[in-house]
Copies of this chain bind each other. A is one copy, B any other.
Amino acid sequence: MLSTAAYQQQANARRKASCVEVSRTKTASRDTMFPDAEARLAAIGRASARPARCTLFEEGDQAAAFYRISQGVAMAYKLLADGRRQVTGFLFPGDFLGLAFEGHYVYGAETVTQCRLLGYPSGQLERLLESCPELERHMLRLANHELLAAQQQMILLGRKTAEERLASLLCTFSRRQAARGEADNPVWLPMCRGAIADYLGLTLETVSRLVTKLCREGLISKRGHQFMCLEEPKILAAMAEG
């Protein structure tokens, strides 16, 4: 197990940045979940905390629970036999994780920063879904939304240049921050370059070089390694769309 020191530091940096404070109530209100469904889901949730850079579960593990991030950042990934990794998504407060197929997780997950999670035991969630169509409808909407994001990631990975990929990441993170009720700028990237690279289908060196390039061109500016200020959001957005 790797040292968590560097990640702890990132978490500290995170806490100090007032612009990215997370409101817990926001999480509930932005979902269109009905109060009843929400309450019943909350009733079976079990809170827990995890340190930074900690494995939550691995692909193929018996799926004991479905999770929701209440604080912090996590990521989901798939591995090839020889260790190549594809990060399939970064999870922020309010996001669910733990998709399973035939009782086994279909991807691995680990924390990026320290996290607080709500765990919903599989059996209980299953029964709740059967007895609460509204919750089921919500989950269906959620799955469809993830499907949409997955398809956007496909065009990114299959057809965009490295520069367009980075611009896409910055714009997407900015939008997601706004959707969580935070400032849309600067963008917070608590994950290391290697994780970003594995998300964008690049190498960490290429990501690093592109960050430098966008800075040189005045499109972004760095506030430490984790915060990127979008100086030209419109140009970046245009770049992201080809």
Residue positions of A touching B, CB distance < 8 A: 78, 80-82, 84-86, 88, 99, 101, 106-107, 129-130, 133, 136-137, 139-140, 143-148, 150-155, 157-160, 198, 200-201, 241-242
Partner of A151 from the list B106, B140, B160 (CB cut-off 8 Å) is B106
How far, in whole Å, are A143 and B129 apart by their CA atoms in the complex? Answer: 15
Query: Do B151 and A78 touch (CB < 8 A)?
Result: yes
* Chain B residues within 8 Å of A158, by CB: 86, 157, 198, 200-201
Q: Tell me the smallest distance from the CB of A205 to a CB of chain B, in Å.
A: 16
* Chain B residues within 8 Å of A157, by CB: 154, 157-158, 201
Q: Tell me the smallest distance from the CB of A11 to a CB of chain B, in Å.
A: 27
Q: A99-B148, A129-B137, A133-B133 are in contact. List 5 more A-B contacts (CB 8 A).
A: A80-B160, A84-B242, A86-B158, A136-B140, A143-B144
* Chain B residues within 8 Å of A129, by CB: 137
Q: Tell me the smallest distance from the CB of A22 to a CB of chain B, in Å.
A: 25
* Chain B residues within 8 Å of A82, by CB: 242
* Chain B residues within 8 Å of A151, by CB: 78, 88, 106-107, 150
Q: Tell me the smallest distance from the CB of A138 to a CB of chain B, in Å.
A: 10
Query: Do A81 and B154 touch (CB < 8 A)?
Result: no
Partner of A80 from the list B147, B153, B241 (CB cut-off 8 Å) is B241
Query: Do B155 and A154 touch (CB < 8 A)?
Result: no
- Of listed A88, A148, A152, A155, residue having the most chain B CB within 10 A: A155
How far, in whole Å, are A133 and B133 apart by their CA atoms in the complex? Answer: 6
